[in-house]
Structure 1
Amino acid sequence: MASGKQAARSSAIRKSRHILMTATTLGLASVLAAAAPAQAEEGSVKIGFVTFLSGGAAGPFGVPARNAAELMIEAINAGSVPAPYASTGLAGKSIDPIFVDENSKQKNADYQKLVEKDEVDMVLGYISSSSCKAIAPEAEKAQKLTILFDCGTPQIFEEIVTDPQYTFRTGAHATMDNVAAARYLADTGAKTGSYAGINQNYAFGQDSWRDFSASMAQIDSNAKIAAEQFPKIYAGQYGSEISALLTSKPDVVHSSFWGGDMEAFVIQGSARGIFERAKVVLTTGETAMHRLGAQMPDGTIIGARGPHGDLAPESELNDWFRKAYYDRFGTLPTYPSYKMAQALLGVKAAADKAGSTDQDAVIGALKGLEWEGPSGKVSMALANGHQAIQGTAYGTYEFDKETGKASLVDIVRYDAECVNPPAGMNSIDWINSGFEGAKCD
């Protein structure tokens, strides 16, 4: 009887050991399973991308920027970008994107969600200057690396965040656009006895007109302002403003309208004859030249907020980008696409230089960095290394009715140091000084 109890006890012990071993094995498997995603995340960099995915700015701006992001992310992860970007990922880690619509009434809350809930490693985005004005202080408060890839107002680092630690802008601000526009008029012999402006009534439009009119005062002191129009952003209808421009009879009309507003002005203004009676300068016009085709009047002066799109210099990287973009999306990339690609390559250059995607390492490497993009050299030269400068170009629009193709002629290029303020000097002070220290060939 005792031996039977002993056998039963031995059987129970063996069963308990089996259960314990099974439980331990299952527990270890659970731990490993739980650890697997963390290990996968350690091999990736989560980036929040913010651009217009809906609304009037989506078609001409936000979607081309998102398309470029998708193209570049895939190419960077695969290591298929031409040298010197042929290595895979950011310092070897793949990019894991999250896309957010900039067309939101709660931009700050969307940003906070990316940082706090989605736990992104960095945020890259923003087209509208009003967005950047709201987000730049938020980025400094959150202590999160944030890269503004487009928005134009010089206020970001000259007035709003004057000692940036976490915020960068990888494209030149709009002072460059407007100084170069005034120089282009002089360099091409345009009649500039009087000039007028139609610009959106918010930071980008106000700053653009301020810098253009101040530049004109320096370049042609005899030129007079004929009219100033500041319609509400996204207004869409500009009948009264166009009537005021026609009445004032300027030689030149300057506009920093962008997106749907710019396209609406081109269509409405050309129908009323404003493009025939004045030389019209569109500082962001490149985004519409292929979209509008014959609707864009010949002779319009076109800018691209940098040497982007049809104004980009020849290079292996530019050839690759244009072909890859066209093959994938069936259309040529415009300047929002170029600026998105430029920002991502800047991040890659910084991470690869640092050999790390740690935030402090990337910030340290990006500060003051120079790199090559599809549009040429970019230098983080202003705002203590947080604000980019680069050269730019303007051209005059022509449409070939036989081929149905738009092109730019009479292109004039300007070096970065010719059209951007020097370090330590605010834009308007530099213009009013007579462009002190400018280096123009």
Structure 2
Amino acid sequence: MLNRGSSLGGVLGTLWVLVSLLEVAIPPAQAQNAAPAAAPVKLGIVSFLTGPAAAPFGIPGRNGAEIMIEAMNAGKVPAPFNKVGFGGSNIEAKYIDEAGSAANVVTEFRNLVQRDQVDAVVGYVSSGSCLAVTPVAEELKALTVFYDCGTPRIFEEKSRAYVFRVSPHATMDSVAAARYLLAKKQDVTSYSGINQNYAWGQDSWRDFAGAMQVLAPKVTADKALFPKLFAGEYGAEISTLLTSKSQILHTSFYDGDLEAFVYQEQARALDKRMTILATTGEAAMWRLRDKMPNGTMIGGRGPHGPLAPDSDLNRWFQKIYTDRYSIPPTYPAYQMAMSLLGLKLAYEKARKGDAKPTTDEVAAAFKGIEFDGPSGKVKLAIGDGHQGISETAYGTYRFNKEKNEPEIVDIIRFPAECVNPPAGINADDWIKDGMKGAKC
């Protein structure tokens, strides 16, 4: 028979064993008090997912975001972008369709910022969308990175605090187009244009015609046509162009408009009468293939796709994109990648320790940033440090029958300071004043 002391000892011994077992099963106090995982960075990604601009522009842009965010979260982007996520914070993306009216685009933007409380919005193909979103982004103090829209008006009409654009604006495309044309066809006497009737098309034609007046004042502009955006039917315009004696047809058509126009003009052999100069043609070459007229002068809104400089980062991006989607990346995918890399660097520059940086801190870090991405070097040198500039390139299209694939040949590269206006001068004034200070 056990006495009371022995019984108490047995109970205490049993309790000690149970506590020991629980210590094995439950993490120690210091583990429970360890710093929590870094809060995720929430991004709204906006691009055309439906409608005529989706297949050639919006979907490649969305795909570029998808593979870049996936690689960033896995820490698999080549150095110096190999830190996981945004400075250790996982990236969560919500994808939104840009299709719809400007009012609808603004409503969706407000929902992302106010309802979904994203940390930043990256997106927009249409210049109309960007012009509509810009004042709202400033009103809401919402960090916003435009990835494709080209109108120079974003940062010329007013200084911005929260809006950025890594991709150069449309003036670069038009000035470089004029320089390439005059380098390749020195005997040109007349040119015409067909451009969409909204900000992007109007600005593109204005800058191209202005650059031609500066560089070749004796070369005259003949027809200047502005069909409705996403019209899709160009019979009347083609009839008008067939009456012109121009040797060159300038077009900033993009998306389904460009593809529809190419099919329709070939049925009437317009490209046999005048050479097409397509400032966004690179985005359509992998879809049109041998339907794109040989000899078309092609731009890619910068040094993207076949116009991109050779580098480890570019080869990596081309491989992961082509492996995933079975088609090479075009310039919308490149522009999205460059925009996300710029935001990543700004976020990591602003971050101090484990604390998540504020919107104002990221915006301050983003201002004037400079880096090398898959498309080469970009620096936010104009628009008070909110607008990027880069070199660009143009070339001539041909379909290589032996390889059974499109290619761009006779490429000419133009330095950033040759085709972009200097800081503090708006594009239209720079061109009208003779493009003074251009360093070519």
Note whether the superposition's TM-score is higher than 0.5. yes
- Say whether the 8 Å CA contact 1:252–1:280 is kept in structure 2: yes
2:259 corresponds to 1:263? yes
Q: By how many angstroms is 1:358 displaced? A: 2.5
Residue type of the partner of 1:413?
R
| CA–CA distance in structure 2, aligned partners of residues 209 and 272 of structure 1 | 24
The equivalent position to 1:344 in structure 2, one of 328, 340, 363, is 340
**Residue in 1 aligned with 2:395?**
395
Say which SS state the counterpart of residue 135 (structure 1) adopts: helix
| CA–CA distance in structure 2, aligned partners of residues 423 and 144 of structure 1 | 24
**Residue in 2 aligned with 1:118?**
116
| CA–CA distance in structure 1, aligned partners of residues 202 and 187 of structure 2 | 24
Where do residues 97-108 of structure 1 align in structure 2 (5 Å cutoff)? 97-105=93-101, 106-108=104-106
**Residue in 2 aligned with 1:327?**
323
2:207 corresponds to 1:211? yes
Q: By how many angstroms is 1:42 displaced? A: 5.0
- Say whether the 8 Å CA contact 1:307–1:391 is kept in structure 2: yes
User: Cα deviation per residue 1:248-303 (whole Å; 9 max; x = unaligned)?
Assistant: 12111000000000111111112211111112100000011111011001000000
User: Cα deviation per residue 1:388-440 (whole Å; 9 max; x = unaligned)?
Assistant: 11110000001022332110010000000000000000101101111111110
| CA–CA distance in structure 1, aligned partners of residues 258 and 153 of structure 2 | 22
- Say whether the 8 Å CA contact 1:82–1:317 is kept in structure 2: yes
**Residue in 1 aligned with 2:409?**
409
**Residue in 2 aligned with 1:306?**
302
**Residue in 2 aligned with 1:202?**
198
- Say whether the 8 Å CA contact 2:286–2:327 is kept in structure 1: no
How many equivalent residue pairs?
A: 401
- Say whether the 8 Å CA contact 2:193–2:223 is kept in structure 1: yes
- Say whether the 8 Å CA contact 1:191–1:251 is kept in structure 2: no
**Residue in 1 aligned with 2:22?**
none
- Say whether the 8 Å CA contact 1:61–1:259 is kept in structure 2: yes
Say which SS state the counterpart of residue 163 (structure 1) adopts: coil
Question: RMSD across aligned C-alpha pairs, in angstroms?
Answer: 1.3
The equivalent position to 2:218 in structure 1, one of 222, 242, 262, is 222
- Say whether the 8 Å CA contact 1:45–1:357 is kept in structure 2: no
| CA–CA distance in structure 1, aligned partners of residues 247 and 175 of structure 2 | 18
**Residue in 2 aligned with 1:152?**
150
- Say whether the 8 Å CA contact 1:91–1:357 is kept in structure 2: no
| CA–CA distance in structure 2, aligned partners of residues 128 and 250 of structure 1 | 29
Residue type of the partner of 2:59?
V
- Say whether the 8 Å CA contact 2:207–2:431 is kept in structure 1: yes
Q: By how many angstroms is 1:166 displaced? A: 0.6
Q: Percent same amino acid at aligned positions?
A: 53
Say which SS state the counterpart of residue 243 (structure 2) adopts: helix
Residue type of the partner of 2:130?
C
- Say whether the 8 Å CA contact 1:90–1:357 is kept in structure 2: no
Residue type of the partner of 2:318?
R
| CA–CA distance in structure 2, aligned partners of residues 234 and 114 of structure 1 | 27
**Residue in 1 aligned with 2:292?**
296
**Unmatched 5+ residue regions in structure 2?**
1-31
User: Cα deviation per residue 1:200-228 (whole Å; 9 max; x = unaligned)?
Assistant: 00000000000000000011110111101
2:162 corresponds to 1:170? no
- Say whether the 8 Å CA contact 2:381–2:389 is kept in structure 1: yes
| CA–CA distance in structure 2, aligned partners of residues 345 and 69 of structure 1 | 10
Say which SS state the counterpart of residue 396 (structure 1) adopts: strand
**Unmatched 5+ residue regions in structure 1?**
1-35
Say which SS state the counterpart of residue 423 (structure 2) adopts: coil
Residue type of the partner of 1:173?
H
| CA–CA distance in structure 2, aligned partners of residues 380 and 258 of structure 1 | 25
| CA–CA distance in structure 2, aligned partners of residues 317 and 104 of structure 1 | 35
| CA–CA distance in structure 2, aligned partners of residues 189 and 56 of structure 1 | 33
| CA–CA distance in structure 1, aligned partners of residues 91 and 186 of structure 2 | 47
The equivalent position to 2:52 in structure 1, one of 56, 80, 98, is 56
| CA–CA distance in structure 1, aligned partners of residues 389 and 37 of structure 2 | 34
- Say whether the 8 Å CA contact 1:198–1:228 is kept in structure 2: yes
| CA–CA distance in structure 1, aligned partners of residues 349 and 154 of structure 2 | 27
The equivalent position to 1:245 in structure 2, one of 241, 248, 251, is 241
Q: Residues 42 and 116 (structure 1 numbering): CA distance in 2 closer, same or farther, change over 3 Å?
A: farther
Say which SS state the counterpart of residue 384 (structure 2) adopts: helix
TM score, norm. by length of structure 1: 0.89
Higher percent of residues as helix: 1
| CA–CA distance in structure 2, aligned partners of residues 362 and 64 of structure 1 | 27
Q: Residues 271 and 167 (structure 1 numbering): CA distance in 2 closer, same or farther, change over 3 Å?
A: same
- Say whether the 8 Å CA contact 2:398–2:407 is kept in structure 1: yes
**Residue in 2 aligned with 1:369?**
369
Say which SS state the counterpart of residue 141 (structure 1) adopts: helix
| CA–CA distance in structure 1, aligned partners of residues 145 and 307 of structure 2 | 24
**Residue in 2 aligned with 1:74?**
70
